[in-house]
Amino acid sequence: MIDIKLIREQKELVKENIKKKFQDEKLELVDKVYDLDVKFRETKTKLDNLRNERNKLSNEIGALMRAQKVTEANSIKEKVSKINSEIPKIEVEEENLSKQIKEIMLVIPNIIDSSVPIGKDDSENVEIEKFGEPLVPNYEIPYHADICHSLNGLDKEASGRTSGEGFYYLKGDIARLHSALLAYARDFMINKGFTYCIPPFMIKSDVVTGVMSFSEMEAMMYKIEGEDLYLIGTSEHSMMGSFIGQMLKEEELPITLTSYSPCFRKEGGSHGLEERGLYRVHQFEKQEMVVLCKMAEGMDYYNKMWKYTVEFFRSLDVPVRTLECCSGDLADLKVKSCDVEAWSPRQQKYFEVGSCSILGDAQTRRLGIRYKDSEGTKYPCSLNNTVLATPRGLIAFLENNYQEDGSILIPKVLQPYMGGKEKIEKK
């Protein structure tokens, strides 16, 4: 959520930003909230004046009563009584205006960074840099589900019986590999100085609306029936929610956290071949980075964070590239975002395995997270980034470490998490 001062003072800047995101249907909201804000401030001033007048008159009544000027005191009491009857009506008007303004402000997109490329959707995202050679071996790389089946590591028939489409059972060495990747991702980030956390996997609605846009919520979140609880789509949600309404100490910043969680999303499987695999699923696991820092430090952390993900995958012998998200592909709360994509030697193309985002004060303003410095009260900058989301990370690992004999090589960094195994072989 942007600062209302931007609409008061730079209305055209806000409109131009909306145009850059190709959301012209929201342009009229800027004028609407501007007019509501003018009316709100007028109402607030009127209310403040009435309260001040009431306090002044009340003091006069006290003085008159002490001077035994009862008639004059009673006359002023009538004025106070009239003010008391007016105030509740104006308070209701003020509250209604405030509510209308907030509802509109929640859907006006954040101001994107000047470096963000302008484009309508993800087809216009821009490649930044490649890391590692995207090789295609001279033997066939099977579909990842077939690799797992050949190692007796995947059972989607059983999950179909228990849970339906979009779920899976991992077994044996594949299940162990899945857990090993997450454990390595955890320790990788701890070694970078991040504090490890395991958060709640359900959050209240006020946290949901604080961390994401309404469109994202509708597309992603599972609601717990009969309760004010949602299953998290990523641990960023509950990690940011842990600070809701808090006044942080300046010396606490930056706060650098790495969190593990299962994640739950409504998105279904792709059509055709991908439906029997693990690329799009309703349940997965994730190691995340979440940072709260001063606004001036935001871009430095943004660049550190996506580089950590690149370093992580390269340590697993997985070639990756970074892709700058264009304006039309940015979620409304984001200032700037890039995807980390892993090379698929089977498909001979890259696919997304992580996303790094800087959100400015959009989340912290919504959640009421503040800190004080010598200049006064401020909202910190929030950032998030994927270290590893798996099974997608598992798919990238399997394809890039698959050998012609059907075995999977285990890089040295992962071997301690696999009981010293150097490869997974067919039994």
**pLDDT digit string, tens, across residues 76-100:** 888 888 999 999 999 999 999 999 9
Q: Are 64 and 73 in contact (CB under 8 A)?
A: yes
| 137 prior amide bond cis, ω within 30 | no
Domain 4-105: CATH superfamily is Serine-tRNA synthetase, tRNA binding domain (1.10.287.40)
- Report the percentage of the chain scoring pLDDT > 70: 97
Rounded Cα–Cα distance for residues 420 and 413 (Å)? 10
Rounded Cα–Cα distance for residues 117 and 110 (Å)? 15
CB neighbours (10 Å) of residue 156?
A: 20
Q: Report how far apart the first and last C-alpha atoms of the chain are (Å, whole number).
A: 55
Rounded Cα–Cα distance for residues 282 and 110 (Å)? 28
Q: Residue 59 above 80 pLDDT? A: yes
Rounded Cα–Cα distance for residues 291 and 386 (Å)? 12
Q: Residue 323 above 60 pLDDT? A: yes
Rounded Cα–Cα distance for residues 193 and 189 (Å)? 7
If pLDDT is split at 50, 70 and 90, which confidence band does 69 have?
confident
Say what the pTM is: 0.89
Q: Are 221 and 208 in contact (CB under 8 A)?
A: yes
- The dihedral of CA 297, 300, 302, 308: what is its sign? negative
Q: Which tops the pLDDT comparison, 211 or 191?
A: 191
Rounded Cα–Cα distance for residues 192 and 177 (Å)? 23
Q: Are 234 and 288 in contact (CB under 8 A)?
A: yes
Token reading at 209 = 């609306």
CA 386, 209, 112: angle at the middle one, nearest 5?
60
Mean pLDDT for the stretch of residues 138-163 = 94
Token reading at 138 = 């001279």
Mean pLDDT for the stretch of residues 2-17 = 95
- CA dihedral defined by 67, 68, 70, 74, rounded to 10 degrees? 40
Mean pLDDT of the chain, nearest integer: 93
Mean pLDDT for the stretch of residues 341-352 = 96
Q: Are 242 and 271 in contact (CB under 8 A)?
A: no
Dump pLDDT digits (tens) for 261-305: 999 998 744 444 456 788 889 999 999 999 999 999 999 999 999
Secondary structure tally for the chain: helices H, strands E: 13, 18
> In the 8-state DSSP scheme, what is residue 280?
S
Q: What is the CATH number of domain 122-424?
A: 3.30.930.10
What pLDDT score does 393 carry?
96
Rounded Cα–Cα distance for residues 290 and 292 (Å)? 7
Sorted by where each begins, the domain ranges of the chain are 4-105, 122-424
Q: Residue 192 above 90 pLDDT? A: yes
Q: Which residues contact 392 (CB under 8 A, 6 or more apart)?
A: 278, 279, 284, 342, 351, 352, 353
Q: Give the CA distances from residue 368 to residues 143, 168, 231, in Å, rounded to whole numbers and listed in that order.
A: 46, 39, 22
Token reading at 143 = 């579909």
Q: Residue 136 above 90 pLDDT? A: yes
Dump pLDDT digits (tens) for 399-422: 999 999 999 999 999 999 999 999
